[in-house]
Structure 1
Amino acid sequence: MDRRLNWNEIRTRAAQFAREWAGHGYEKGETQLFYRDFFEVFGVPVRRVATFEEPVKKLGDQRGFIDLFWKGMLLVEQKSAGRSLAKAKAQAYDYFPNIRNADLPRYLLLSDFQSFNLHDLETGEESSFSLDALPQHVEKFGFIIGVEKRTFKDQDPVNIEAAEVMGHLHDALEESGYVGKDLERFLVRLVFCCFADDTGVFEPRDIFLELLEQRTSPDGSDVGPMLANLFQVLNTPEERRSKKLDEDLARFPVNDRLKFPTSDRLKFPTR
């Protein structure tokens, strides 16, 4: 099975894609090439998931062709550079009445090569950005690599379960010999990061979860060093951060809500 690209790699590919397609925009001649390259940004061959020029009935006796269709996930309506995306949206919605319910897409993407308009039809969220800004918005296309978009609630019954998990973590670390102020400080920092990830203090949401899921080993052997690096970044003003700082860490804002003492280096338990 192919390795899934991490967001650093995807952003780098997105920047290259934006440079290569700057100034292009002929709908009939370049759409398929454009989306082959676009899906390769995420390391996914478009032919694995989607089809081009999918035939579909429109209202009345007319027939149309969907520029790109990923059943159940994505419908793309493409226009030449400078053409109206409002017209593209109306055209796309003409297809919906004759798409099977099981195949109705969650996402609608409208584009004129030099700009994107992405609609999440489940949440109602809409995002618009230019081609050159794609590297800053690639997370919005997480569904291409199987990263499910999460929805958030002010109150969630899993809070009780989360508190229990934190308690178990405390006990496990304490049993390993990681005790006292070091342990309590670590748990406070961890709780803050979870809170910030869930409430929007960290933007975009879930960047802390993604950092742990995508940038650490499944066995957890390197979670400690990653957290130590993150805590140091959170306490470092942006103008003092290294120019070569890992991009996933650089996205985290300076922590103004809860200062982490810089005089005490966080120690992690060893086996």
Structure 2
Amino acid sequence: MAVRVAEFVNNWEGEHRERAEKDSFWNDFFAIFGISRRRVGGVFEYVAQRHSTGRHGFMDLFWPGKLAVEHKSAGADLSLAMNQLVDYLITIDPIDVPALAVVCDFDRFMVRDLEAATTVEFTLAELPAHIDMFTYLAGYRRSAVNLDEEQANIEATTLLANLHDRLKEYGYPVHDLRVFMVRLLYILFADDTQVWQKNLFEDYIRVNTAEDGTDLGSKLRDLFEVLNQETRMVNLSPALDAFEYVNGGLFAESISSPVCDQNIRRDLLKACQFDWSEISPVIFGSLFQNVMTDKERRIIGAHFTTERDILRTLGPLFLDQLEQELADAKAATSGRLIRLRKFRAKLPTLTFLDPACGCGNFLMVAFRHLRRLELEVQLAIRQAEGAAGNEVFDIEMLRQVTLDQFHGIEIEEFPARIAETALHLTDHQANMQMAAAFGQYIPSLPLSKSANIKNANALRADWNEVILAKDCTYIVGNPPFIGISMRSSEQTEDMQLIWGDDYHGTLDYVTTWYRKAIDYMGDRPIRAAFVSTNSISQGEQVEPMWQPILAAGFSLDPPIRLMARGSLGFECERGARAGSSVPVSHRSLPHR
């Protein structure tokens, strides 16, 4: 970019002919950032209305949502021209108001940041020193935006919840709406995380759909179809052919096209303008919580666990031990390389089952940390190998931790599909981190291996049909906790089926996952951890809950009393305290 901006300054120094050369000037300006003005929808002589007079005129260049330009002849009054440009922008639809308004006479620039309400002036020769102001045109994040992770998650989920609610209000079928939202989540993340060209989807919507939104549904249907096509017609529109094939079934199902309007298009573009690149995968669970109704949340006992608290479960279950093993291998004074390679070989052998996976938060966090450990050990091995480790290699050989090590069961279709999609994007983020560390590109499309998420009632399903117990290393999750007064008749039947003669009416619904787990584990060396309500470790539930489990030969590791002295106050991501406080229990077979 530095070379291109220097060439731009050199090529246009001394130019003064406004009408003859201004279009070429701005086309070359866009080229600094590797952008085609026509592809992204930048329009010369854009018709607009003056706020002050009501009359129509022309902005010299307008890229909706990004940039507005008024170009003048040499020596013109730039302040007067800026006032004229802003007068046009007052009448523009708010979703299309650009970040920057620019007035230029070839040699001088006046730039007004409409978000920060600041104005700077500089000459053409000084453009290289100010080029960072414009890098957002190429998809880079604007530095003025500085949300912390929690704020970003809340804002992102609110944007998509608004879109969901509007489509639901318009009568879009529930199943189709849920499939649509899952696909949209994937596309928005892909647009900001190098799955394909930056902002490709946003540009597609801005350039190829009508402002009134009437053709938006059909355009999205066309895109969904193309994303599911590995082989395409040779005369396919370049705007659609630019999107890469996405396999894995995400876009395979045929759904009805939503009937859209200006409001839907505006909500979608607002979501596009948000920067999704730094969002935690836990955003998917947060979104699901936002769009569910209170009634649904009560009926199925849904609740949301933050990433911080997920790690309080994963740490004692397996992550703390792995962290220590890697630290010991790195610090070894003899046999260091052998120990590092042994640790690397161990990671792909670990398998996980979450039998109440919801949107897949526990699986996502476990997978991400396993990929992080894999990257750390690969870098440590390269360092230990010295010069030999820096030779040309196939980076795909370094990526041994894969999504098919992760399995889940979820009773609701919508979160099950979100879990699958979120895990693919978590994998992509890990690929980008590994690629950056080793200086090689790892393509994320087409999708290769996938997590195995079964849409079923975990208490009625055979867990061995998801992953054979002999192949499972860890069980983890956050099953619903529902007391006797809140349980449905079907949930009570679930408990009676699993507990059999040991069923006791005071037991919380969550205890059924414990009993199901020990039947599944049998004599195998599987470790398990569930987030649970603290009522299972105190009061009248203790004896009917733990006597059958301990009698079967299972132990608590560490003892549950260490975790149950005080309640663990879980924080919902939106800031509200969750209704239940929970201890975490870790169960493993004792030595026999």
Q: What TM-score, normalized to structure 1? A: 0.55
Q: Is the 8 A contact 1:173 1:179 kept in 2?
A: no
Give the Å deviation of 1:32.
0.5
Q: Would the aligned equivalents of 1:77 and 1:89 in 2 still touch at CA under 8 Å?
A: yes
One of 46, 57, 65 as aligned partner of 2:49: 57
CA distance in 2, matches of 1:128, 1:173: 57
* Alignment correspondent of 1:99: 92
- What does 1:39-188 align with in structure 2 at a 5 Å threshold? 39-49=30-40, 50-58=42-50, 59-151=52-144, 171=323, 174-175=326-327, 177-179=329-331
Unmatched runs of 5 consecutive residues or more in structure 2:
151-306, 312-318, 333-430, 440-592
Q: Summarize deviations over 1:38-85 as a string: whole Å, max 9, x none.
A: 101111011122000001122334221000001122111111122111
Distance 1:157 1:104, change over 3 A: closer
Cα distance between partner residues in 2 of 1:80 and 1:121: 24
Give the number of the structure whose alpha-carbon radius of gyration is greater: 2
Q: Give the counterpart of 2:434 among 203, 220, 226.
A: 220
- Which deviates further from its counterpart, 25-34 or 126-135? 126-135
**Structure 1 residues 90 and 218: CA distance shift in structure 2, 3 A:** same
Query: Using the alignment, how far apart are the partners of 1:152 and 1:43 within structure 2?
Result: 23
- Of all paired residues, the percent bearing the same amino acid is 32
2:29 matched to 1:38? yes
Deviations 1:170-209 (A, max 9, x none): x4895384459xxxxxxxxxxxxxxxxxxxxxxxxxxxxx
Distance in 2 separating the partners of 1:119 and 1:97: 14
User: Could you tell me whether the CA contact under 8 Å between 2:49 and 2:57 is conserved in 1?
Assistant: yes
Q: Distance in 2 between matches of 1:127 and 1:177?
A: 55
Q: Deviations over 1:122-151 (max 9, x none)?
A: 122333222122222222111211112033
Task: Provide the aligned length of Structure 1 versus Structure 2.
Answer: 178
Tell me: higher relative CO, structure 1 or 2? Use CA pairs within 8 A at least 6 residues apart.
1
Q: What are the superposed Cα offsets for residues 203-259 of structure 1, whole Å, 9 maximum, x if unpaired?
A: xxxxxxxxxxxxxx935355389xxxxxxxxxxxxxxxxxxxxxxxxxxxxxxxxxx
Shift of 1:22: 0.1
Deviation (angstroms), 1:12: 0.2
Deviation at residue 152 of structure 1 after TM alignment:
6.3
CA distance in 1 between counterparts of 2:111 and 2:14 reads 21
- Call closer, same or farther: CA 1:219–1:152 in 2, change over 3 Å: closer
1:109–1:220 Cα change, 3 Å: same
1:137 aligned counterpart, secondary structure:
helix
**Counterparts of 2:437 and 2:116 in 1: how far apart (Å)?**
33
In 2, distance between residues paired with 1:173 and 1:81?
Answer: 68
- Equivalent position amino acid for 1:60 in 2: T
Quick one: structure 1 residues 177 and 152, their matched pair in 2 at CA, closer, same or farther if it must change by over 3 Å? farther
CA contact (8 A) 1:11 1:136 kept: no
Q: Residues 72 and 178 (structure 1 numbering): CA distance in 2 closer, same or farther, change over 3 Å?
A: same
Distance 1:221 1:42, change over 3 A: closer
- Matched with 1:15 is 6
Report the CA distance shift for 1:97/1:138 in structure 2 as closer, same or farther (over 3 A). Answer: closer
Contact 1:12–1:135 (Cα < 8 Å) also in 2: no
TM-score when scaled to structure 2? 0.27
The 8 Å contact of residues 86 and 101 in structure 2, kept in 1 or not, is answered as: no
**Alignment CA distance shift 1:104-1:20 (3 Å):** same
2: CA distance between counterparts of 1:64 and 1:94? 11
Cα distance in 1 for partners of 2:31, 2:99 equals 21
Q: Structure 1: where are the runs of 5+ without partners? A: 1-9, 181-216, 226-271
